[in-house]
Amino acid sequence: MEASLPSQIEKLEMRDLELVVLSLIVTFICAFSLVAIYLSFTLQPMTKNLLDPLTQRILVVSFFLLITLFSAYIIVKRRELQRMKVQLIEQEVQVRTMNGLLAELIDLYRVSSSVSSDVDLPSVLRIIMETCTGSLKADRAILFTHDPVSDELRIEADAGEKMDWEKLDDAHVRIARSVMESSEPLMINDRATFAQFAKVETDSVASLSAIYVPLRAENAAIGVLEVIAGSEWHFSEHDLKMISILADHAAISVARNRKTQALEAHVEDLETTNRVLMDKNRELQGVAGKVAGPTEEWKPDES
């Protein structure tokens, strides 16, 4: 079985370390040999019977040639290892990116399946909220829906840890309402932008990043999906597209649930009206029966 990319990178790093150690050993040997050669020339009267001048020169040239070849080998080998390491790192990044995209596709398929099935609205919204806090590394996700009767935004679903917004709950609602009225998504990655849209002081805003996407159904905004991350995470355009897709699915579910509730209410009204009409019909039949009874009992004398 082929080794994983991290293990292959680790092996390359070990080989690089081995080359460094080998270079140090050879450097030590070369230094020792240089000292020996230097002493052989310095103490030439004592070593003249061991090596003649020509042999000494050949030895020096061969020695330096060997050092040069070894140095060239180490340089080429280390460059090759570095190139292979860079390629493996790029492959690892690509694999992680593909795995992330695959995970997002799986999450979107799960959301689409839940929306297309007969799953109840709370379950669908729970899946969408969990996808926001899971795949997008968000700390908090809130789904606001607009009540057309009271003209208020209320929390339909939420997920993630409760965050300390330093009494800025109304500010988040103001931003959500502004996004719903404009029907345009909003991405915030700094305190100043948040303070500007929330109409509060910058110093009173905790460090956070947020995305607001309107829920649209039949060319009308019916709510807002708010996704919040801490100061260590900044949302990207890809995150905005992902949240927009989730908001579209949430809008479909909310709109369908409202239509279902309206239809059920209409059916209930029809049934109530039908029962009232049936009761009235029975009353009229009873009255008609009482009126027709004496008439049938009295018959005129035909003679």
The more confident residue out of 298 and 238 is 238
Residue 22 is part of which domain span?
Answer: 5-108
pLDDT value of position 53: 65
Please report, for the domain that includes residue 182, its CATH number.
3.30.450.40
Minimal CA–CA distance to 12: which of 104, 69, 66, 84? 84
Domain membership flag for residue 282:
no
182 domain-assigned: yes
Same domain, 139 and 205: yes
Q: Of 108, 130, 157, which closes a domain? A: 108
Whether residue 139 has pLDDT greater than 80: yes
More reliable by pLDDT, 24 or 277: 277
CA–CA separation, 241 vs 136, rounded Å? 11
Does 108 have pLDDT greater than 80? no
Residue 153 shares a structural domain with residue 88:
no
Tens-digit pLDDT profile for residues 44-79 = 555 555 556 676 677 677 777 777 777 777 778 778
Asked if residue 224 has pLDDT above 80, the reply is yes
CA-based nearest residue to 221, from 176, 183, 250, 252: 183
Share of the chain above pLDDT 70, in %: 70
Residue 144 has a pLDDT of 92
Give the per-residue pLDDT at 42: 62
Check whether residue 26 and residue 146 sit in a common domain. no
Is 145 in the same domain as 214?
Answer: yes
Domain check: are 135 and 104 in the same one? no
Q: What is the mean pLDDT of residues 177-184?
A: 89
Judge whether 274 lies within some domain: no
264 vs 166, higher pLDDT? 264
Residue of 208, 210, 214 whose CA lies nearest to 185: 214
Is the same domain home to 101 and 228? no
Residues 60 and 98 in one domain: yes
97 and 227: one domain? no
- 12-29 mean pLDDT: 76
172: exposed, middle or buried (Cβ count in 10 Å: 0-12, 13-18, 19+):
buried
Q: What is the pLDDT of residue 208?
A: 73
Q: Please give the pLDDT value at position 215.
A: 92
Q: Would residue 200 count as lying in a domain?
A: yes
Q: Averaged over 217-236, what is the pLDDT?
A: 83
Residue 89 CB contacts under 8 Å (≥ 6 apart), including other chains: 9
Q: In the predicted model, is pLDDT for residue 105 greater than 90?
A: no
Res 143: pLDDT: 92
- For the chain, the domain total comes to 2
- Whether 129 and 247 map to the same domain: the answer is yes
CB atoms within 10 A of CB 163: 15
Q: Note whether residue 43 is domain-resident.
A: yes
Mean pLDDT of 223-251: 86
Q: What mean pLDDT is predicted for residues 4-25?
A: 74
- Looking at per-residue pLDDT, the higher value among 119 and 281 belongs to 281
Residue-wise pLDDT tens digits, 250-283: 888 888 888 887 888 888 888 888 888 887 777 7
- Residue 183 domain-assigned? yes
Tell whether 92 and 211 lie within a shared domain. no
Q: State yes or no: pLDDT of 294 exceeds 60.
A: no
Q: Are residues 50 and 139 in the same domain?
A: no
What's the mean pLDDT when you consider all of the chain?
75
Residue 199: closest CA among 227, 232, 160, 168? 168
User: Does one domain contain both 256 and 228?
Assistant: yes
| pLDDT score of 41 more than 70 | no
Q: Which of 260, 277, 298 is at the close of a domain?
A: 260
User: Is 158 in contact with 238 (CB distance < 8 Å)?
Assistant: no
Q: Name which residue leads in pLDDT, 186 or 96.
A: 186
Domain termination site, one of 260, 276, 297: 260
**141 lies in a domain?**
yes
pLDDT given at position 85: 78
Residues 188, 207: Cα–Cα separation, whole Å: 11
pLDDT band at 293, cuts 50/70/90? Answer: low
Residue 99 lies in a domain: yes
